[in-house]
Structure 1
Amino acid sequence: MNFLDKYQNIVSEAVENYRFNDQPGELYAPMNYIMAHGGKRMRPIMVLMACELFDGNLDDAIKPALAIEFFHNFTLIHDDIMDEAPLRRNKATIHTLYGLNVGILSGDNLLFKAYQFFLDLEPILFKKCLKIFTDTGIVICEGQQYDVNFESMSNVSHDDYIKMITYKTGSLSAASLQIGALIAGASDEDAESIYNFGKHIGIAFQIMDDYLDVYGDQEAVGKKHAGDIYENKKTILYLTALEHANDEERAELDYWYSKKTDNVDKIYGVEKIFRRTKVEEKVLRLVHQHSETALEYLDKIKVAPEKKQALLELAEYLLKREK
Structure 2
Amino acid sequence: MKSITKYAESFNAYLTRKCNNQAPSSLFDPIDYILNLGGKRIRPALVLMTTDLFDGHVDHAYSAAMAIEVFHNFSLVHDDIMDDAPLRRQHPTVHEKWDINTAILSGDSMLIWAYQCLEDYDQHSFYTLVQLFSKTAQEVCSGQQMDMDFENLEEVSIEKYLEMIRLKTAVLVACAFKMGSIIAGTSLENQDHIYSFGINLGIAFQIQDDLLDVYGNPKTFGKQVGGDIIENKKTFLYLKALELSSEDDRNQLKHLFSINPKNTQAKIETVKQIYDQYEIKSISSERIERYKQKALLSLNQLNLPDDKKQKLKNFAQELMHREA
**Range class of TM-score, shorter chain:** over 0.9
CA contact (8 A) 2:4 2:49 kept: no
Whole-Å separation in 1 of the counterparts to 2:219 and 2:76 = 19
Whole-Å separation in 1 of the counterparts to 2:100 and 2:269 = 32
Residue type matched to 1:62 in 2? Y
Whole-Å separation in 2 of the counterparts to 1:217 and 1:171 = 28
CA contact (8 A) 1:204 1:318 kept: no
Residue type matched to 1:308 in 2? K
Q: Is 1:59 matched with 2:59?
A: yes
Whole-Å separation in 1 of the counterparts to 2:91 and 2:303 = 42
Shift of 1:322: 4.9
Q: What does residue 111 of structure 1 align with?
A: 111
Q: What does residue 321 of structure 2 align with?
A: 320
3-state SS in 2 of match to 1:85: coil
Whole-Å separation in 1 of the counterparts to 2:217 and 2:110 = 30
Whole-Å separation in 1 of the counterparts to 2:275 and 2:50 = 38
Matches within 5 A, 1:258-297: 258-260=258-260, 263-264=263-264, 265-297=266-298
CA contact (8 A) 2:4 2:46 kept: no
Whole-Å separation in 2 of the counterparts to 1:219 and 1:89 = 16
> How many residues matched?
322
Q: CA separation of 1:261/1:56 partners in 2, compared to 1, >3 Å: closer, same or farther? A: farther
Identity %: 41
Q: What does residue 248 of structure 1 align with?
A: 248
Q: CA separation of 1:74/1:322 partners in 2, compared to 1, >3 Å: closer, same or farther? A: farther
Relative contact order higher in (CA < 8 Å, ≥ 6 apart) = 1
Shift of 1:250: 0.6
CA contact (8 A) 1:90 1:223 kept: no
Deviations for 1:142-180, whole angstroms, at most 9, x for unmatched residues? 111111111121221111111111111111111111111
Q: CA separation of 1:20/1:220 partners in 2, compared to 1, >3 Å: closer, same or farther? A: farther
Unmatched 5+ stretches in structure 2 = none
Matches within 5 A, 1:73-88: 73-88=73-88
Residue type matched to 1:269 in 2? T
Q: Is 1:188 matched with 2:188?
A: yes
Q: CA separation of 1:99/1:232 partners in 2, compared to 1, >3 Å: closer, same or farther? A: same
Deviations for 1:259-298, whole angstroms, at most 9, x for unmatched residues? 3555414333323322322222322222221111101001
Deviations for 1:199-218, whole angstroms, at most 9, x for unmatched residues? 11111121122223333345
Between 19-28 and 161-170, report the one with greater CA deviation: 19-28
Shift of 1:308: 1.9
Q: CA separation of 1:28/1:171 partners in 2, compared to 1, >3 Å: closer, same or farther? A: same
Residue type matched to 2:153 in 1? M
Matches within 5 A, 1:136-175: 136-175=136-175
Deviations for 1:2-58, whole angstroms, at most 9, x for unmatched residues? 922211111111111111311222322222222112211111111112111110000
CA contact (8 A) 1:288 1:319 kept: no
Shift of 1:220: 4.7
Whole-Å separation in 2 of the counterparts to 1:186 and 1:21 = 37
Q: What does residue 95 of structure 2 align with?
A: 95
Whole-Å separation in 1 of the counterparts to 2:107 and 2:224 = 22
4+ residue runs of structure 1 moved beyond 6 angstroms? none
Relative to the length of structure 2, the TM-score reads 0.93
3-state SS in 1 of match to 2:85: coil
Residue type matched to 2:214 in 1? V
3-state SS in 1 of match to 2:111: helix
Q: What does residue 232 of structure 1 align with?
A: 232
Whole-Å separation in 2 of the counterparts to 1:92 and 1:242 = 36
Q: CA RMSD in A?
A: 1.9
Residue type matched to 2:26 in 1? E
Whole-Å separation in 1 of the counterparts to 2:25 and 2:256 = 44
Whole-Å separation in 1 of the counterparts to 2:73 and 2:43 = 11
Whole-Å separation in 2 of the counterparts to 1:24 and 1:305 = 51
